[in-house]
Amino acid sequence: MMQDWTGYRASLLERVGDFAKHSPDVLRGLATMDNAAAKSGHLEPRIHELIALAVAVTTRCDGCIAVHTKKAAEAGASLEEISEALAVAIALNAGAALTYSARVIEAYQQLG
């Protein structure tokens, strides 16, 4: 096993609670953004969570992976749907690396 995700999620949420005691406005702001993203209702919660998982992978956030995997499952996402969302993240992340590689080449070419 690479990670005890259930234990990690519980510990993370506990630490976030500790942080919230010192910076409650930050957590309220984050909650406001999170709720605003779903407010329109154009996408069902399962889709929101699949997007969140794809973003979590591209930003390399274990906390987001732990929280949004559980939320995706609770919203009814199947392992097949999660896998497809992750495949999109992998494809785009590789594309991003290629795009930023082109930027490096351009920056180098402008040196001389």
The position carrying tokens 């040196």 is 111
Rg over alpha carbons for the chain, rounded to the nearest Å, is: 18
The domain made up of 5-109 is a member of CATH 1.10.460.10:
no
pTM here is 0.83
For a pLDDT cut of 90, what percent of the chain falls above it? 77
Per-residue pLDDT of 20-49, as tens digits, reads 999 999 999 999 998 898 888 899 999 999
- For residue 7, the SS3 value is helix
Confidence of residue 63 (pLDDT cuts 50, 70, 90): very high
Mean pLDDT of 73-98: 94
Q: Could you tell me the residue ranges of all domains in the chain?
A: 5-109
What is the structure's pLDDT at 97? Answer: 85
Given its phi and psi angles, is residue 89 left (phi above 0), alpha (psi -120 to 50 degrees) or beta? alpha
